Amino acid sequence: MTGIALLAFSIANPDARVARHNVERWRETGRIDVVTLSRLSTDAAPALAVLPSALRDAALRPILARTDRDGALGWNLSRSRGRAYADDGP
């Protein structure tokens, strides 16, 4: 049962949902908390990549800095995609 719950949580992708919600709020209000967003995982990168470059860089730089410390054994698909969005944009 725990495995099923973990799988459901992973599929729900909460960090991406938080990032999308905050980007939508930024579009409506012009306000965004990049400090909070910078604490999310690389799953948030696609949603954050649509921000203007200064905001995008402020949010993604700390996320990617954390993944740099993991080395080759820390590779996963989410981190690979996150780096691609940070490097190239959407």
19's CB contacts (< 8 A; 6+ apart) are: 37, 40, 43, 44, 47, 48
Report helix, strand or coil for 38: coil
State pLDDT tens for residues 33-84.
999 999 998 889 999 999 999 999 999 999 888 876 656 666 666 666 666 6
62-71 core/surface letters (b: 16 or more CB in 10 A; e: else):
ebbeebeeee
pTM: 0.69
DSSP string of 69-86? TT-GGG--HHHHHHHHHH
**Separation CA 7–CA 11 (nearest Å):** 6
CB 58 within 8 Å of CB 86? no
